[in-house]
Amino acid sequence: MKARMFSVALAFCTMACGLTSSVLAHAQLFSPPKPVAQKPIPVLQAPQPGFMYPQHETLTFTVDWRVFTAGTAVFHLDQVGEVQKLSATADSIGAVNLLFPVVDRFQSGFDLKTGCSTGFNKQIQEGRRKIASELIFDNARGKQIQNERNLVKGTATHQEANVPACVTDSLAAIFYTQSQPLNVGQIVSFPLADSMRTVTVGMKVESREEIKTPAGTFQTVKVQATAEEGVVKNRGHIWIWYTDDPRHIPVQMQAKLFWGTITFHLQSIDLK
């Protein structure tokens, strides 16, 4: 069957950072969802006053599929002026690497005052597939611009679409959510640039849970990513567990898809 990619989960599956592509080497994804009437796009709310991101932070995760470890994912956060720079790497390991090697790299960032994404780049090497893509937000013209190169075929594409003045992207959304109130029963909704569209993603705070990871035991809030369209819809269920304290550090992520469950377990936090 046709190989397909699981890339940064995702859009919110994109936040799973590409590793699922390994185990999807012989799996067929769902057919595209039918078009639905789009509801008004919400305004992206600025980070809470007083919320502080660390100057530097590295979060390292192992990525498990069923009974074995499929890969590793590492997130780097660095403040540069008034922008929170983000980068993520995803690499397959072990038997999965032999079946379908993955070496993916993602870069993003967002304004610390407004939460608005500053752009999203990715370099994907998955099996024989090699893609470099850049997503630019031209707020003056109200456009999102995507330039993509197929490094194997030597082809390039250029696309433009309308976009609100302030959106998040697939990688920035994970960390933007940290800055919002996360109370049980609450839904944090925001616009996300997804596949040359703007979709509404809701982060629903479901419950409080104690989570044990290799990095330690954490009191957390369990948050489900929901959407009525885009990559999140009809792709299964996706959750993030954030620490139940003012920092809201993501310590576990999970995607339950039709072919199985992928879980990200926090291995370490480095503030250097």
Whole-number pLDDT of residue 52? 94
- Mean pLDDT score across all residues of the chain: 83
- The kind and range of the H/E element at 172 are helix 172-176
**Cα separation of 85 and 172, whole Å?**
9
Percent of the chain predicted with pLDDT > 70? 79
**Cα separation of 183 and 166, whole Å?**
24
What is the DSSP track for 29-97? PPPPPPP-PPPPPPPPPPPPTT----SEEEEEEEEEETTEEEEEEEEEEEEETTEEEEEEEEEE-HHHH
One-letter amino acid at 18 equals G
Is pLDDT larger for residue 235 or for residue 86?
86
- The C-alpha R_g of the chain, in whole angstroms, comes to 17
Contact between 12 and 78 (Cβ < 8 Å): no
Q: Counting every residue, how long is the chain?
A: 272
Contact between 116 and 167 (Cβ < 8 Å): yes
Contact between 115 and 176 (Cβ < 8 Å): yes
Residue pLDDT, tens place only, 119-135: 999 998 878 889 999 99
The structural domains of the chain, ordered by start, are 13-26+53-270 (2.50.20)
Whole-number pLDDT of residue 91? 85
Residue pLDDT, tens place only, 141-182: 999 999 999 999 999 999 999 999 999 998 999 999 999 999
A 10 A CB-CB count for 19 gives 31
Whole-number pLDDT of residue 21? 37
